[in-house]
Amino acid sequence: MKKTILTGDRPTGRLHLGHYVGSLKNRVALQNEYETFVLLADVQALTDNFDQPEILRDNIFQVTLDYLAVGLDPQKCAFVIQSQIPQIAELTVFFMNLVSVSQVERNPTVKAEIAQKGFGETLPLGFFCYPVSQAADITAFDADLVPVGQDQAPMIELCRDIVLRFNRLYGETLTLPEAMYAQFGRLPGTDGQAKMSKSIGNVISLSDDEKTVTQKVMAMFTDPNRITGREPGNVENNPVFTYHHAFNTDKERVAELKELYELGGENEKGKPILGDVTVKRELIAAMNEFLAPIREKRAAFEAQPDFVWDVLQDGTKRGLQRAENVMERVRDAMKIGYFGAM
Ligand code: TRP
């Protein structure tokens, strides 16, 4: 039997290149070998958007377009809408007994998010508990493997803790999942910050058009010490070069650019040998080459909304079946399967 993958995204907006590098690329590569469930985590999105549930429907549609556009195949992947799987909520409640408050408090990803969102005293319990519910997302589908970005590492750790605890208490019932991280690591934002994030506003979306990509790349952070373009440049911590590595298929040219940039200096006409604008122009060309087929596929699917919603409904049904199978095992293990399957 094929092993199972479960991953997911919060549908709070269109997906960006950070999502692509961090996990979409991996998912596309793995969908042939694994039975894949991709969760559109609308319930999790509500934990910090509960006051505007109307954003979810369109965002689910947009994220699904992104999935289809990058090559996730609905024949191989079930796209599952989280809110339609009550088994996840059920499992979350059972898991809450197996986690301490301080365990969640220590979770560095949640800690950072709480600080960033400035919840203070108004921190909703639902948001605080989302790591527990994410553990349920993963286990409810019997996932063996979870391809995610590095920032999700503490979530998978917590999930593993819960699964081990559950199995010790109630007997071997749940599958112990493993995280799988992207080879490339994390893609920085256009401002050079460690993470591409919509709330920071430093993203390039998969659906950005040529003009937008051009504007965003031209405004990108580079080496702040290069004022005239003649100074020896720094390619480390320089997102322009990180993006060249990630998206430019002409590796020789990237190596050459890197060398010239580090060297600095001017030519016989007194002009910089390699100015930042040249490096950016070549990056724009490379990125648009990468994004062009994605944009084209996206537009084609966008023109068939009924097809997209059918894909979601079909995936959600497949997810529902899987989750109910797991929950029957869980209820039996917990001695609350009083009536069997009703
Ligand atoms: N927390 C993830 C994110 O913010 C999204 C997510 C929800 C997820 N459920 C999941 C990821 C289950 C992996 C597995 O990107």
- Encoded tokens for 327: 């929950």
* pLDDT for 182: 84
pLDDT truncated to tens, each residue of the chain (342 aa)? Answer: 899 999 999 999 999 999 999 889 999 999 999 999 999 999 999 998 999 999 999 999 999 999 999 999 999 999 999 999 999 999 999 999 999 999 999 999 999 999 988 998 999 999 999 999 999 999 999 999 999 888 899 999 999 999 999 999 999 999 999 999 888 878 999 999 888 988 889 999 999 999 999 999 999 999 999 988 899 999 998 999 999 999 999 999 999 999 999 999 999 888 999 999 999 999 999 999 999 999 999 999 999 999 999 999 999 999 999 999 999 999 999 999 998 777
Query: Among all chains, which residue has been given the structure tokens 């969908």?
Result: 31
54 within 8 A of 103, measured Cβ to Cβ: no
* pLDDT for 17: 97
In ligand 1, the atom with minimum distance to the C-alpha of 155 is 1
Q: Mutation test of ligand 1: which of 6, 9, 114 has the most ligand atoms closer than 8 Å to its C-beta?
A: 9
* pLDDT for 41: 98
In ligand 1, the atom with minimum distance to the C-alpha of 19 is 15
134 lines ligand 1 (CB under 6 A): yes
Question: Helix, strand, or coil here: 155?
Answer: helix
18 lines ligand 1 (CB under 6 A): no
* pLDDT for 184: 82
**Residue 198, CA atoms < 13 Å, CB-side half-sphere:** 10
146 lines ligand 1 (CB under 6 A): yes
In ligand 1, the atom with minimum distance to the C-alpha of 137 is 12
Q: Mutation test of ligand 1: which of 4, 39, 81 has the most ligand atoms closer than 8 Å to its C-beta?
A: 39
44 lines ligand 1 (CB under 6 A): yes
* pLDDT for 292: 97
* pLDDT for 83: 98
* pLDDT for 53: 94
85 lines ligand 1 (CB under 6 A): no
* pLDDT for 150: 84
310 within 8 A of 75, measured Cβ to Cβ: no
Tell me how far the alpha carbon of residue 143 lies from the centroid of ligand 1, in angstroms: 13
8 lines ligand 1 (CB under 6 A): yes
Pick left, alpha or beta for residue 264 (phi over 0 → left; psi -120 to 50 → alpha; otherwise beta).
left
Question: Residue-wise over 265-297: b if at least 16 C-beta within 10 A, else e?
Answer: eeeeeeebebbbeebbebbbebbbebbeebbee
24 lines ligand 1 (CB under 6 A): no
In ligand 1, the atom with minimum distance to the C-alpha of 149 is 15
163 within 8 A of 173, measured Cβ to Cβ: no
Q: What is the CA radius of gyration of the chain?
A: 22
Spell out the alpha helix ranges (H) of the chain: 17-19, 25-30, 42-46, 55-70, 86-96, 101-105, 108-117, 125-128, 130-139, 153-170, 210-218, 239-247, 251-263, 276-302, 305-333
* Overall pTM surpassing 0.85 (yes/no): yes
- Encoded tokens for 91: 């499992």
Residue whose CA lies nearest to ligand 1 atom number 10: 8
Residue whose CA lies nearest to ligand 1 atom number 13: 7
